[in-house]
Structure 1
Amino acid sequence: MTPLTRHQMAWRAAQDLPEGAYANLGIGIPTLTASYVPPDREVIFHSENGVLGLGPSPKPGEEDEELIDAGKNFTTLITGGCYVHHADAFLMIRGGHLDVSLLGAFEVSGKGDLANWTTEDPDFPPGVGGAMDLAVGARAIRVLMEHTSKKGEPRIKHQCSLPLTAAGVVKRIYTNLAVIDVTPEGLVVREMVPGMDLERLQALTEPKLTLAADWREIRAPAISVPSKAKASEQAA
């Protein structure tokens, strides 16, 4: 069983974005998603720092030092894209103009509670950024995160142990092991990486999991990442 890489997780999330969607990309793994939208599909990416029409990551040597995303990574602008004032970027969020927001998280509960703004570690400064606004302003919240912590502890929990960003907002979770929907009946596993089974996944997850009748394996493509990009990604 081989877990998905961060780029493969971003690829998987990108496949679910519908044609014509306005989608916000949060800091961390979500910022990679703009590079993996199917070529025949138009998705307009929003970045809270003031970009509408965010494009894929630039090729090595083609970075524009004046064009970054919310995570301070170099990015690109699609044809027709624009820069906006920071306040206007937040007006788009608060005005309910975003179809979906892809966010990173430290923890998610079985009820869809989101904790993504602080680990309460004094060496890791907290920063809520636009997460609270996005949690209530975007029509759908989807989370991309590693399934377990570096210590191997579950990050999908009965109840979040970290301070909440918002309660009951997460509808879908993409991890390096599975795709899981948060439903009124509980957590439903839609997809798992090859070699994973429900029993092993349950051992890494606190809330009870139910396997969807039509579940399938995640068949992610191999993705080559330049060494410079890898270093930047690990730093983030």
Structure 2
Amino acid sequence: MTEFTPMSRKQMAARLAQDIPDGSTVNLGIGIPTLVADYIPEGREVMLHSENGILGMGPAPAPDAINPWLINAGKQHVTLLKGGSFFHQADSFAIIRGGHLDLCVLGAFEVAQNGDLANWATLDANMPPAVGGAMDLALGAKRSWVITEHTTREGAPKLVEHCAYPLTALGAVQRIYTNLAVIDVTERGFVLRDRVPGLSLEALQARTGAKLHIEEHADA
């Protein structure tokens, strides 16, 4: 059996950051998505937005350069790039709901093969539901990408035929970045674009709860 090494969360974030188009305005959701800010390629102009009222976030600050008053929506310390701005949360949601975001990057509990997203509540009574701005972001941004581990800690697939958890948005997701692969959501369903070295298609399919399609130009 061929050995493969899943990507770390930082590697996942770096992989996604490589695909963000130059000139994009992007919201990074709470959790793994916030790591993307640390890996925006040098020389690429990407304006990062946070729903608590920031536009122009930079990477995480060095431990000795933390501004305790400057945080993102996940209450993590951030930096502000030249030209960045602060504003009321109502104005921030006007940006989201007005369709002014090119892309949002969200975490997920499940993503269905038709792009349905479930990321705000599970059936676990010990995990309180917390929708935050996810519903607004998933539907308000021009594109929605998900970054998440490919399976749960118990090994259950997060990429499924139909979501079992409460839905955040219907048909909202266009692309998924996991620790094993990059997968597009299309009219055909899940289309494999990339996968970690050494991972066979059969092994990836066994960890996926819906059929994976392959196109000739995919890295297969």
TM-score range, shorter chain: over 0.9
The CA distance in 2 between the partners of 1:60 and 1:194, in whole Å, is 34
The CA distance in 2 between the partners of 1:213 and 1:173, in whole Å, is 19
Deviations 1:100-138, CA, capped at 9 Å, x for gaps: 000000100111100000113221111100011111110
Q: Secondary structure at the match of 2:218?
A: strand
Q: Secondary structure at the match of 2:64?
A: coil
Deviations 1:114-169, CA, capped at 9 Å, x for gaps: 00001132211111000111111100000000000000010101111100001111
Q: Is the 8 A contact 1:198 1:211 kept in 2?
A: no
Q: Is the 8 A contact 1:120 1:126 kept in 2?
A: no
In structure 2, the partner of 1:156 is 159
Q: Does 2:42 match 1:39?
A: yes
Q: Does 2:128 match 1:125?
A: yes
Which of 100, 103, 106 is residue 106 of structure 2 equivalent to?
103
**How far did residue 197 of structure 1 move?**
1.4
The CA distance in 2 between the partners of 1:32 and 1:70, in whole Å, is 13
Q: Which amino acid aligns with 1:4?
A: M
Aligned 1:8-19 pairs, distance under 5 A:
8-19=11-22
Q: Which amino acid aligns with 1:60?
A: P
Q: Is the 8 A contact 1:101 1:138 kept in 2?
A: yes
**How far did residue 211 of structure 1 move?**
2.1
How many residue pairs align between the two structures? 217
Aligned 1:178-193 pairs, distance under 5 A:
178-193=181-196
Which of 176, 196, 200 is residue 197 of structure 1 equivalent to?
200
In structure 2, the partner of 1:228 is none
The CA distance in 1 between the partners of 2:49 and 2:123, in whole Å, is 28
In structure 2, the partner of 1:78 is 81
Deviations 1:46-78, CA, capped at 9 Å, x for gaps: 000111001101112211111111111111100
In structure 1, the partner of 2:119 is 116
Q: Which amino acid aligns with 2:94?
A: L
Deviations 1:143-202, CA, capped at 9 Å, x for gaps: 000000000010101111100001111000000000000000121100000111111000
Q: Secondary structure at the match of 1:213?
A: coil
Which of 202, 208, 211 is residue 208 of structure 1 equivalent to?
211
Name stretches of at least 5 consecutive residues in structure 1 with no aligned partner: 218-236
Name stretches of at least 5 consecutive residues in structure 2 with no aligned partner: none
Query: Hey, which bits of structure 1, 4+ residues long, moved more than 4 A?
Result: none
The CA distance in 1 between the partners of 2:215 and 2:173, in whole Å, is 18
The percent identity for this pair of structures is 57
The CA distance in 2 between the partners of 1:33 and 1:160, in whole Å, is 26
Q: Which amino acid aligns with 1:66?
A: W
Please report the RMSD computed on the Cα atoms of aligned residues, expressed in angstroms. 1.0
**How far did residue 212 of structure 1 move?**
2.7
Q: Which amino acid aligns with 1:118?
A: A
The CA distance in 2 between the partners of 1:116 and 1:98, in whole Å, is 19
Deviations 1:198-230, CA, capped at 9 Å, x for gaps: 11000000111012322238xxxxxxxxxxxxx
The CA distance in 2 between the partners of 1:40 and 1:216, in whole Å, is 27
- TM normalised by structure 1 equals 0.90
